[in-house]
Amino acid sequence: MITRKINIDSIEKIQSFVKIINQFSGRFDLISGCSKVNARSIMGIFSLDISKPLDLNIYNDESADSILTSISSYVIKSTVPATEHREYA
């Protein structure tokens, strides 16, 4: 799993983000506080507080680089190293 902070603070950004995410296979969760929703769900995202950055968990390690490149305009750049958890079966 790879986690990135993202900013999708408008309806247009949410629609565009979901369209991009739906091009990839795998599981994607968005987390705001104690709430977690499927990142493919526009309605789920509207239930979150989008005025603040959200955590995006990406569970598709094989395509992670392509995914991150595709959503780079939403990823919040940080000086703190990003969180990466590799799960091996």
Report the distance separating Cα 48 and Cα 79, nearest Å. Answer: 25
Q: In this predicted structure, what is the pLDDT of residue 7?
A: 96
- Encode the chain (89 residues) as per-residue pLDDT tens digits: 999 999 999 999 999 999 999 999 999 999 999 999 999 999 999 999 999 999 999 998 788 899 999 999 999 986 555 555 555 54
Sign, Cα dihedral of 5, 11, 16, 21: positive
Q: In this predicted structure, what is the pLDDT of residue 84?
A: 58
CA angle 88, 3, 29 (to 5 degrees): 90
Element (H, E) at 62: none
